[in-house]
Amino acid sequence: MRIPCPHCGERAAEEFSYLGDATVTRPAPDAGIDAFVDYAYRRDNPAGALAEYWYHGGGCRSWLVVTRDTRDHRILGAVDARGAQR
């Protein structure tokens, strides 16, 4: 799999570390334990395009939001996480 880093160009996936789904929002500290359990453990497993956090540790050391098709691992795009809209 090749990931198009917006800073370094297209690179091998081995240069990156995967963090997870970029579409979830951490609950407020006073939201209660059920909200945190939902956030941490109860996630959808969609088939299709999914925005994910990836860290380019083998290159520019930037966090990216990579859009990947979960059915075939095709990369649909990548942007710097600092400018990404969730």
pLDDT for 18 equals 96
In the chain, domain spans: 2-25+33-83
**Across residues 39-59, what is the average pLDDT?**
94
pLDDT for 62 equals 97
For the domain made up of 2-25+33-83, the CATH class stated in words is alpha beta
pLDDT for 9 equals 96
Q: Is 16 exposed, middle or buried (0-12, 13-18, 19+ CB in 10 A)?
A: buried
